[in-house]
Amino acid sequence: MQQLRPGYTTWHITFGTYGSRPHGGFRATVDKTHNERGEPFIRENEARESSARGRMKFQPIILTIEQRTFIEATIPGITERGGWILRTCAADPDHVHVVLDVVPSVHGEKVRRLIKRWLGQAIGEQWPLPRGASWWAEEGSNKPIHDVEYLNNAYDYVFGQRAS
């Protein structure tokens, strides 16, 4: 059973791959106004999905099993570089989860942005993208975990999705 660490904030960070889950599609998504625990996801909306796809400059990114395994092997070094304590991570074909502990003075959004940057650089060395393309969707989710029940649910959920 996972416990909260005194003196740290535990974060559940999630971010998607570029273009794999546009808002309004049949698969659930969140945005800044649909991002709280227990709130409904964005509803399917053909016009919104079409608009999102029309703005895409590159093909959607779907991670292979080799890329997912690489990501899961790379994240521990990234969290060490950032000075964070990794609990678990998982890479799915269209998104990445990370559960970690961070000193309270650093917000999860900053951590998410750094993980995406450093992970994008690392995976891009192995699998280069066209100039201007990105591995990741623009935003993502960073949820602070304040209770042990949520921590254990998040940990089990993420750990259970690992590719490797």
Rounded distance, CA 105 to CA 102, Å?
8
How do residues 43-61 score in pLDDT, each as one tens digit? 666 666 555 655 667 889 9
Is 7 a residue whose pLDDT tops 80? yes
In terms of pTM, does the model score above 0.95?
no
Residue 143: beta bridge partners? 12
Rounded distance, CA 93 to CA 98, Å?
15
The residue written with tokens 């623009």 in the block is 138
Q: Are 87 and 2 in contact (CB under 8 A)?
A: yes
According to CATH, the topology of domain 9-19+60-159 is: Alpha-Beta Plaits (3.30.70)
- Strand, coil or helix: 156: helix
Q: For the chain, what are the domain ranges? A: 9-19+60-159, 22-55
Q: Are 92 and 159 in contact (CB under 8 A)?
A: no
Confidence label for 20 from pLDDT (cuts 50, 70 and 90) = confident
